[in-house]
Structure 1
């Protein structure tokens, strides 16, 4: 799994995503995952990966972005060895973000979505970011919405966009902890089942490895959408 660290600085959030599913019900035949009655098929997931690989190779900026993140220690993919696991985690994360928005009063206004887009550098940067995290460009609006949901939630919980004092830092960390609990509740509340070939669902830890669970150091204030530090 990827453990994430949130920081609110220079008007942007920095976090790394993790997501997956658990439960005892058997997975439906041909499904990579199910979310309630919705099925993400292995064939559709395979198409997502094929499209991503083709588009990623054609976008040098996306490759440079991923390399820069990795060099700085930012892990922006769930499993660098498995594009399918990475894509599946992101797709499930969009469902969780939708639940957070609907259930916890974090539906972003258009102006809040536009703010996040500007903070990330605009549509072109967002396209490369979507490819860098392991999804084809057609998912950039979904990614932007997920990021805006997290940003809106944190703001409404009292996070300070640009912490300048120890009190600001404390307030932001408290907001992040509350947001993390809300994301955990949202993940738990969704009926998500994962095909064992892609791992297991753990509501607190996210998508666990297919074999042995690996622990990684770090605080996990918010397990939500990806917002790498682009600075």
Structure 2
């Protein structure tokens, strides 16, 4: 069973794909043509979303657990879109708070997670893919997002990992999403502002989760 973790631990979400090329700025208001979702003045294109989904599918097919992963991935498009939308909101909240993450800080999160898997990168990649639908190529942005969330909690005056910090983080992300406005293409579902997800595809804000270290190696 996947276990939650707080933003202080080594690795989030969903993963999340920070600074994703799927997000494109719209000059004079959001253009919904060809959009899977619109977040503020940014849109996540259907084509870019499908590219992300295809990337995950390819990694699943190459996995020893490929048949199982493919059979259980019926909501992959919606799950991936949820993570992209959440990432856009997290990035905006961090920017508003003046929070940034260096490459070195993201690498530290990656190294800490890798240590939990005995230095076995394939085992870590397999766990990210199996439990969160994160393709190996997206691992670096995944860890960068974790580091960003941890620093965002610190900027709010809390220790990463504290209950108060977790609550404060949920609050600021929810308010940021409401301020930006989120519109989802009906083919993928509807945005649930309380859960900060599309339909029932995920829990409330993916405030960093870590794959179980017992995941099998690829």
Same fold (TM over 0.5): yes
Paired with 2:173 and 2:142, the residues of 1 have a C-alpha distance of: 16
Query: 1:12 is paired with a residue of what secondary structure?
Result: coil
Kindly state the Cα deviation for residue 125 of structure 1 after the two structures are TM-superposed: 5.6
CA separation of 1:33 and 1:112: change in aligned 2, threshold 3 A: same
Answering whether residue 159 of structure 2 is matched by residue 159 of structure 1, we say yes
Answering whether residue 173 of structure 2 is matched by residue 174 of structure 1, we say no
Paired with 1:215 and 1:83, the residues of 2 have a C-alpha distance of: 11
**What are the ranges of 5 or more consecutive residues in structure 1 without an aligned counterpart?**
19-24, 67-78, 162-171
**What are the ranges of 5 or more consecutive residues in structure 2 without an aligned counterpart?**
17-28, 214-218
Q: How do 1:15-164 residues align onto structure 2 when only pairs under 5 Å count? A: 28-60=32-64, 80-121=73-114, 127-132=125-130, 133-156=132-155, 157-159=157-159
Paired with 2:92 and 2:208, the residues of 1 have a C-alpha distance of: 17
Alignment match, 1:228:
210
- Alignment deviations for residues 90-134 of structure 1 (CA, whole Å, 9 cap, x no partner): 122221221122112332344432221122117656644553322
- Alignment deviations for residues 142-165 of structure 1 (CA, whole Å, 9 cap, x no partner): 22221111122234433265xxxx
Answering whether residue 183 of structure 2 is matched by residue 193 of structure 1, we say yes
Paired with 1:41 and 1:215, the residues of 2 have a C-alpha distance of: 21
Q: TM-score, normalised by structure 1?
A: 0.64
- Alignment deviations for residues 167-207 of structure 1 (CA, whole Å, 9 cap, x no partner): xxxxx111111111111122223232101121222332122
Kindly state the Cα deviation for residue 135 of structure 1 after the two structures are TM-superposed: 3.9
Residues paired across the two proteins, number:
190
Query: 1:81 is paired with a residue of what secondary structure?
Result: coil
CA separation of 1:149 and 1:124: change in aligned 2, threshold 3 A: farther
